[in-house]
Amino acid sequence: MKRIIREYNQWLKDNQHFILHLRGHDSSLYTRVSPIYEVLNHFKEEYEDGILESDEDVMKIFQVGLEYLHSQVETCRIYLENTFHQDFHHFLEYEQIIGYLLYIEDLRYELEENEVSYDKHTMDQLIDFLEDLMADKAEIPENINLYVDSEIHKIADFSKWNFQSIIDIFVQIAETVGIELYIESDYVVGKDI
């Protein structure tokens, strides 16, 4: 466990600024990775404080989480560098598209992992369409969510297979260990009562 905590600490040193920058801009990309990020931080702190015992389940959670978090952040960084030439605010204009691309890659992984047949051609066309939108810096269509959703439903028969992403699993882990991921604020309009 010490080894993977060291790896995570090094990864944090290299990437935490980027993650916190996403969070500071209230990015949907941060919302996407926050369950993994928060669970790993929670486990790391509990292990370093001597509260958490290392066992096979904790190791597996940590290993899967770190690999997943690394790949998601690395993909974002590649888009930021190669497509948006380090212009963070322009990158954020296309965060919805990047989120779809990350989701599609998750879907592809799970389909292949579970040996579910799917329409690779439709998936590749959807990826190309989304990447071309970014590369061309084109205006994002208002109904993009409806289009992406309809194309995803052409890719596989979801009535026979339930897609559960790593993010979904980490949301469940967070709930189990008592991590509050999404804190909603109540706002009062008008004068103080």
CB 11 within 8 A of CB 66: yes
Residue 7 within a domain: yes
- Residue 190 belongs to a domain: no
Rounded Cα–Cα distance for residues 132 and 18 (Å): 24
Q: Which domain holds residue 112?
A: 2-177
In a domain, 127, yes or no: yes
Let me know if residue 83 belongs to a domain: yes
> For residue range 50-103, what is the model confidence (pLDDT) as tens digits?
898 888 999 999 999 999 999 999 999 999 999 999 999 999 999 999 999 999
Q: Identify whether 123 is part of a domain.
A: yes
Q: What is the pLDDT of residue 159?
A: 82
For residue 188, is pLDDT > 80? no
The answer to whether position 90 is within a domain reads yes
Q: Is residue 192 part of a domain?
A: no
The number of distinct structural domains making up the chain is: 1
**Per residue in 143-184, pLDDT tens?**
999 999 999 999 998 888 888 899 999 999 999 999 988 654
Residue 182 lies in a domain: no
Q: Which residues contact 107 (CB under 8 A, 6 or more apart)?
A: 123, 152, 155, 156, 163, 165
